[in-house]
Amino acid sequence: MVDSMPDNEDRAPKVTGLSPAEGSPGTKVTIRGENFGSGQNDLVSVTICGMDCTMFSEWKSSHKIVTRTRICSGIGDVIITTKSGGKGSCTVQFKGIHESVSPTVESAVWVDEAHYFHGPSFPSIKGPASSSSLSKELNLLGGADQTALSPTRETDLKAQFPDKSTDVFSRNFSPDLYLLTNHMQCSFDNLRMGLKELERRVGNHQEGPTTFLKSNVYAIVKCLDVLKELNKVMNKDRTEMGSALTDGVAQHLKETLEEASSIFDQILRRKESSDSMRTSLSILHKFRFLFNLPAQIEHNVKAGEYDTVISDYSRARSVFHDTEVGIFKRVLNDVESKVAAFKEKLYEGIRKFPGPLDQRKKLISYLVQLEPERNPGWEAIELNQRWLLKSMDDLKSLHLSRARNLTNISDTNVDIDPPQVEFVLSLCRFFCNNAPDFFKLQQAYLQREMEGIQTAPSEEEERRSSDLTLQLESRLCLEVRSALLPTPAMNPTATWPHSSKQPIGPWLPTCLRHVRKCYSSVLKLDPPHAAARMQSLITDLREHAIISLLSQAAQDISRLHEYETWRSSSWLDLSSTSGNYGNGLTFGGSGDSQFQGAHVGSSQLPLLFENRVIEALQVIQENVLQSSASQMFKQMNVKVAIMQNVQAMMTSYVDALEKSPSLDKKQATFARDSLDRVGGSSLSRLTVEDKLLITLANVAVSREYVLPRIQTAFANQQYPDISEIIAQGDQQLVQMDQRVLQRVINLLQQPLVEMVEKLMQEYNVEWSTPKTPNDVSTYVKELLLELTEVQQRILRVCPALVDRVLPPVAAALVAEIARLSAHVKATTPQGTNLQIYIDILALEDALKSLEKNNAFDVLVPCKERLGNTDHTNKMLVDEVVRQFKFNQRLQIKCFQ
């Protein structure tokens, strides 16, 4: 029987399609789907919207049935039931449409005409009359215009036609009132047209019966076939069984009665035996609780219903504890053995760690009820503390073995966390996840929550609980200190290997956050003598973290020159620049970080320095200080360490600035995208002179912007006053600036000075020939071009440095001309040399805007010795110099 059920479900009819999917009563519907049976005789029923349509159904195939709908409205299921498949299902639904059928329209189904009539002639009909709405549907005059009456006109008509109605089915129907109400605005021609329409519709109704029979011939023939078949079956039964069709039924009923009597007689004979047996069972039933208790305890223990086990056991002990009946004693012994196994299971539960605290408290509560003479709560607390200490030891052993393995490998990856840091983080996470449950269990024990009584704990219990808490807290602090803050005075169980390649300073803020979480978890629970040692540990970690972070920042700053890219702000928009140089060194532009005006030309090195210092301050503020900055900085050792590290930062930065131009790196050269200001050719790779110029710009930016902002940042975060250190750093920058400036001047002027004599030789300058000059010597023009090139190089890197660098270079050039001119002899009887005199005047006039500190006074002896001439020669000299200045006016304007 069970095996046949899946087969019936597989053969259940299923309707998947309807055509059409909606219609009025009598609509011919084609049903398509699966498993519609093997034939017409297999078909049991066909229902559409809950109405049985079997008598109209015609089986076509196992996938198709044709039927007609009955009166139904709304949306409903189409269900087919067969003998072979049972009741089926459907995935589509049919929508029945209710049509208003007037009394003069044929219908294939029964029509409820009650709502068509009202009035005293039909007293059994209740509800409002709807014949007026029907008359509107009829629209007797067809196309004649219908115009609604105004309220005033309608009142007048009711006054003229009292007790009259416009309802065509009412006895007091008035044609005049009907026309005035519905067609008052119609002309006579329109009314005649409406009359013709009404006559046409009446003529169409005469053809209705024939049309009705044609559309419903199948249903009528089907009904006749059913009546004919019914008559045939009745005649056949009468022929076979005679006229008395019910005699066989009566005989069967008589035999059934006799069989029932014989059965009842046997029951009566066994009545006495049953009564006596029932009495015995009732006696046994009275003590069924005790006899079923061993099996019930075992079942409830497996189901986890411990409360039921304890309740049943307590009840049995209270009732049968002093019994002398042997059978009861044997059952009680069986119960005690089951309860003993149950107790052992509870003890195993409280010895299992980790586990939910609520579940552990429930187990302890059960043991308290079963064994009030023992102290399972304290046993659970001691077990929990021993497990916590052992787990901390196992965690340390695991990380120590990893640390030793790493120290044995020479190429240790410095990007991974140091082993002691990983240990501290793991230890803190373990403590935060498990220690709170230990403290809560202590509180529950001291407050007698698991015993269900309200008594204050004894002093001995509080002392023992405090000792366990202090042992756990001391172990945590000892392990953290041995890993992060080792000292010779400490005596840890094992020593952590420390690597110089992996300082733990950058990880101290993270470790401090985790230790704080442990401290917070302890404070929230407020255990006895809570967290005094952890507070001391946090204070020491804060001091060490501040010193380590500032020291690490100083070390990073000492290597800033390794990340110098020499990207000058002349070519680079600082507001759109951002980069990362590793080891926490980042730079990025913002509105506050742009160096504009006179300091355009600085590189990113000042930004790197400032960002590294600000980053260290932010890390300290967010992860170390928080709200205790003023208290921390009052400690003398912290204050001294901060001042020393700030001093180291300043010294390291100055050294990095001075080292950067001399660093030989591939990154020191790069392709520049911009064009120089004078020429238009692509800028070549940077030279040492360019790097020195950028360094001078960096010094200026550092003094004017970076140092004041760093001092402000320290002051805003309530650090000790570092104004004296900033002043010392500024003085160091000034000294370095002078050294770099002198170096760049020497590098720029040396090629020019060496070029003077070479140019004279190249252009065959002959000052000894007594000829009348008509132009300035070519070497002077070449020297001015070379000096213009020097000026262009300075402008390309840092325009603000032109006034500092170019005048000394020009002074050196003039001094070299003066030195060479001192050996020139006069070529005229008056002791003059017009050519050299003109060259000196032209050079002096061209470069007079670059003269500082009377640097051109070295030319005065030469001009006095070679320039004493008459009026005619003086006019010649003035004309040549004037023409030179006119021809070279654009070049001379560059120096102005």
What DSSP assignment string belongs to 562-594?
GG-----TTTS-GGG-EEE-STT-EEE--TTT-
**What is the Cα–Cα distance from 580 to 59, expressed in whole angstroms?**
83
CA–CA–CA angle 7, 11, 15 (5° rounding): 150
CATH number of 16's domain: 2.60.40.10
- The pLDDT value recorded for residue 486 is 78
What are the tens digits of pLDDT across the range 628-686? 666 677 778 778 888 888 898 999 898 888 888 876 544 443 333 333 333 333 334 77
- The pLDDT value recorded for residue 77 is 92
In-domain check, residue 185: yes
Of the candidates 80, 96, 112, which is a domain's last residue?
96
Q: Any alpha helices (H) in 17-123, and if so which ranges?
A: none
Q: Say yes or no to pLDDT of 122 above 80.
A: no
* Highest-confidence segment of 72-76, 710-714, 775-779, 795-799: 710-714
Q: Do 797 and 570 form a contact (C-beta atoms < 8 A)?
A: yes
Q: Say yes or no to pLDDT of 721 above 70.
A: yes
What are the tens digits of pLDDT across the range 675-711? 333 333 333 477 888 888 888 888 888 888 899 999 9
Q: Say yes or no to pLDDT of 817 above 60.
A: yes
Report residue 185's pLDDT band, with 50, 70 and 90 as the boundaries: confident
Of the candidates 530, 547, 582, which is a domain's last residue?
530
What are the tens digits of pLDDT across the range 727-758? 998 999 999 889 988 888 888 888 888 887 77
In-domain check, residue 539: no
Beta bridge partners of 34: 14
Average of pLDDT values for 127-141?
47
Report residue 248's pLDDT band, with 50, 70 and 90 as the boundaries: confident
For the ranges 332-346, 398-412, 506-520, the lowest mean pLDDT is seen at 398-412
Tell me: do 9 and 158 sit in the same domain: no
- The pLDDT value recorded for residue 709 is 92
In-domain check, residue 435: yes
Pairwise pLDDT comparison (176 vs 79), residue with the higher score: 79
Tell me: do 699 and 576 sit in the same domain: yes
Tokens of 823: 């050996």
In-domain check, residue 35: yes
Report residue 208's pLDDT band, with 50, 70 and 90 as the boundaries: low
In-domain check, residue 477: yes
Tell me: do 162 and 16 sit in the same domain: no
Report the candidate in 513, 512, 532, 537 with the shortest Cα–Cα distance to residue 522.
Answer: 532
In-domain check, residue 513: yes
Tell me: do 732 and 845 sit in the same domain: no
Report residue 30's pLDDT band, with 50, 70 and 90 as the boundaries: very high
Q: Say yes or no to pLDDT of 125 above 60.
A: no
**What is the Cα–Cα distance from 743 to 764, expressed in whole angstroms?**
33
Tell me: do 43 and 148 sit in the same domain: no
DSSP calls for 683-702: P----HHHHHHHHHHHHHHI
Tell me: do 592 and 733 sit in the same domain: yes
Q: Do 96 and 13 form a contact (C-beta atoms < 8 A)?
A: no
Average of pLDDT values for 236-249?
73
Domain that holds residue 216: 208-239
Q: Read off the pTM.
A: 0.55
Side chain identity at residue 555, one-letter code: Q
Q: Say yes or no to pLDDT of 266 above 60.
A: yes
- The pLDDT value recorded for residue 147 is 56
Residues in the chain: 896
Sign of CA dihedral 43, 46, 52, 57: negative
- The pLDDT value recorded for residue 589 is 39
Side chain identity at residue 200, one-letter code: R
Q: Is 211 exposed, middle or buried (0-12, 13-18, 19+ CB in 10 A)?
A: exposed
Q: Say yes or no to pLDDT of 243 above 50.
A: yes
Q: Say yes or no to pLDDT of 358 above 60.
A: yes
Tell me: do 571 and 719 sit in the same domain: yes
Strands 22-23 and 93-96: parallel
Phi, psi of 759 (to 5 degrees): -65, -35
**What is the Cα–Cα distance from 573 to 673, expressed in whole angstroms?**
12
Task: Give the whole-number percent of the chain exceeding pLDDT 70.
Answer: 76
Average of pLDDT values for 778-790?
84
**What is the Cα–Cα distance from 691 to 624, expressed in whole angstroms?**
39
DSSP calls for 27-54: -EEEEEEE---SSGGGEEEEEETTEE-G
In-domain check, residue 658: yes
Q: What is the DSSP letter of 623?
A: I
Tell me: do 666 and 721 sit in the same domain: yes
Report residue 489's pLDDT band, with 50, 70 and 90 as the boundaries: low
Tell me: do 566 and 623 sit in the same domain: yes
Q: What is the DSSP letter of 452?
A: T
Tell me: do 825 and 727 sit in the same domain: no
Tell me: do 484 and 524 sit in the same domain: yes
What are the tens digits of pLDDT across the range 44-98? 999 999 899 988 899 999 999 999 998 888 889 999 999 988 999 999 999 888 7
Report residue 530's pLDDT band, with 50, 70 and 90 as the boundaries: low
Report residue 591's pLDDT band, with 50, 70 and 90 as the boundaries: very low
What are the tens digits of pLDDT across the range 439-464? 888 888 888 887 766 667 778 888 88
Mean pLDDT of the chain: 77
Average of pLDDT values for 607-611?
90
If one counts the domains in the chain, the total is 7
Give the number of other Cβ atoms within 10 Å of residue 159's Cβ: 8
**What is the Cα–Cα distance from 382 to 472, expressed in whole angstroms?**
11
Strands 89-90 and 14-19: parallel
In-domain check, residue 75: yes
Q: Say yes or no to pLDDT of 496 above 60.
A: yes
- The pLDDT value recorded for residue 517 is 86
Q: How many whole angstroms from its chain centre is CA 211?
A: 72
Residues 32-67: b if buried by 16+ CB within 10 A, e if exposed: bbebbbeeeeebbebbbbeeebeebbebeebeebeb
Tell me: do 623 and 570 sit in the same domain: yes
Average of pLDDT values for 235-262?
77
- The pLDDT value recorded for residue 90 is 93
Give the number of other Cβ atoms within 10 Å of residue 123's Cβ: 7
Pairwise pLDDT comparison (379 vs 863), residue with the higher score: 379
